[in-house]
Amino acid sequence: MAELCRIVDVLAAADIANAEAASTTHPWSSTMYAESIEGQDQVFAYHAEQQQAIGFAVLLQVLDEAHLQNVFICQPWQRLGHGRQLLQQLMQHAAKQGASRMLLEVRESNLAARQLYLSCGFRETGQRKHYYRTDSGPREHAILMEAQL
């Protein structure tokens, strides 16, 4: 049975950042994860069948709004249904904590994540133009998405 575990030890930040750097094109830094663990965010490890953590997520809950700040599945375990399970568990967790909706931003070019969010009940509510830096060239738009919990 897959499960979410809250990370409270700031020493985990470097390991999460390394795992993300090996799995995604625009990873957070170790410092960003450390600030999240020490601050108001909730950082989760996702364990599939009590094995090692194969995914991570960062959630910020403000009153009845849950903001999904980041989520990833480690590369060898992508496309196996874990991203959907992780997201569904995060949505259930946020609802239990009193959130009535979940909000997020995603790069316009990130079609895999956008498809995942749509399949979990999110809808697109707007855009932030030229929001994300790219490795080269013009900045990229953010797509704003929202789901009722």
Question: Which residues are the active-site residues?
Answer: 105, 117
**Distance between alpha carbon 26 and the CA centroid of its chain, in Å?**
12
Cβ distance to ligand COA smaller for residue 71 or 94: 71
Cβ distance to ligand COA smaller for residue 59 or 98: 59
Q: How far is the CB of 34 from ligand COA (least distance, A)?
A: 19
Give CA–CA dist 108/120, Å, rounded. 18
Give CA–CA dist 60/99, Å, rounded. 11
Determine, following the binding rule CB under 6 A, whether residue 79 of this chain makes contact with ligand COA: yes
Determine, following the binding rule CB under 6 A, whether residue 36 of this chain makes contact with ligand COA: no
Q: Of residues 13, 16, 71, 143, which one binds ligand COA by CB under 6 A?
A: 71
Q: Which residues contact residue 69 at a Cβ distance below 8 angstroms, ignoring those fewer than 6 apart?
A: 36, 41, 58, 59, 60, 104
Give CA–CA dist 93/102, Å, rounded. 11
**Residue numbers of the site for ligand COA (CB under 6 A)?**
23-24, 71-73, 78-84, 106, 110-113, 115-116, 119
